Amino acid sequence: MKLQRPKLTWWERTYFPAILQGLAITFRHIPRIKKRVTLEYPEVRWELPKKYRGAPVLLTGLDGHEKCTSCKLCQFICPPRAINIVAGETDLAKEKFPREFTIDMGLCIFCGYCQEVCPVEAIWLKDEYELADYDRTRLIYTKEELLARGRKPPYLPGKEKPLTEGDKP
Ligand code: SF4
Ligand code: SF4
């Protein structure tokens, strides 16, 4: 399809009308800017939406054991292949557990597929977003780190063991 260019007058070709129109819109909005849109971070924090997807963490079941059954669905579905699991056997009813479970947060794109695909709600994208580090190797979270982060509030009510006194957050 060929588009016809509109014919501009000499005055329009100076671009002044468009600039003046733009300035008029800007000035029209100035009296409406009452609420500040900046925060004095880190003293003042964002109130995150309930469904905010931050860093993935591992959850501990009400029996005190990690919920993960090492099915590896999350590892297969993860687009940047950030998850790495080494399965082990356990005497518990679930039979398998993750001997090792790492997530490379330098690769994670916060897509939430791991949470969606997990059949036992063992992995959850919590509200953590302060993850920057100068060393990329420290962005590879171990199972212990992921479980510790998962035991901090907010919790999935009635579905996981909350942090109690003596637990390391
Ligand atoms: S949120 Fe997405 S990218 Fe991050 S670990 Fe889960 S599946 Fe992988
Ligand atoms: S976190 Fe869920 S999906 Fe991933 S291995 Fe464990 S049980 Fe399977």
User: Closest ligand to 125 CA?
Assistant: 1
Ligand 1 center–CA 146 separation, angstroms: 13
Show the 3-state SS of the chain. Answer: CCCCCCCCCCCHHHCHHHHHHHHHHHHHHHHHCCCCCCCCCCCCCCCCCCCCCCCEEECECCCCCECCCCCCHHHHHCCCCCEEEEEEECCCCCCEEEEEEEEECCCCCCCCHHHHHCCCCCEEECCCCCCCCCCHHHHEECHHHHHHHHCCCCCCCCCCCCCCCCCCC
The answer to whether the CB of 83 is under 6 A from ligand 1 is: yes
Residue 83 lies in a domain: yes
Q: Which domain holds residue 143?
A: 56-150
Q: What is the pLDDT of residue 85?
A: 98
Evaluate if residue 169 carries a pLDDT over 60.
Answer: no
Ligand 2 center–CA 57 separation, angstroms: 11
User: Closest ligand to 103 CA?
Assistant: 1
Residue 94 lies in a domain: yes
pTM recorded for the entire structure? 0.78
Residue 63 lies in a domain: yes
Residue 101 lies in a domain: yes
The answer to whether the CB of 72 is under 6 A from ligand 2 is: yes
Residue 104 lies in a domain: yes
Determine which of 19-28, 31-40, 138-147 has the lowest per-residue pLDDT on average. Answer: 31-40
The answer to whether the CB of 114 is under 6 A from ligand 1 is: yes
- The total of structural domains in the chain comes to 1
pLDDT > 70 in the chain, percent: 97
Q: What is the pLDDT of residues 70-126, one digit of tens each?
A: 999 999 999 999 999 999 999 999 999 999 999 999 999 999 999 999 999 999 999
Q: What is the pLDDT of residue 36?
A: 75
CATH, residue 139 = 3.30.70.3270
Say how far apart CA 149 and CA 83 lie, in whole Å.
16
The answer to whether the CB of 66 is under 6 A from ligand 2 is: no
Say how far apart CA 169 and CA 151 lie, in whole Å.
7
Residue 47 lies in a domain: no
Residue 76 lies in a domain: yes
Residue 117 lies in a domain: yes
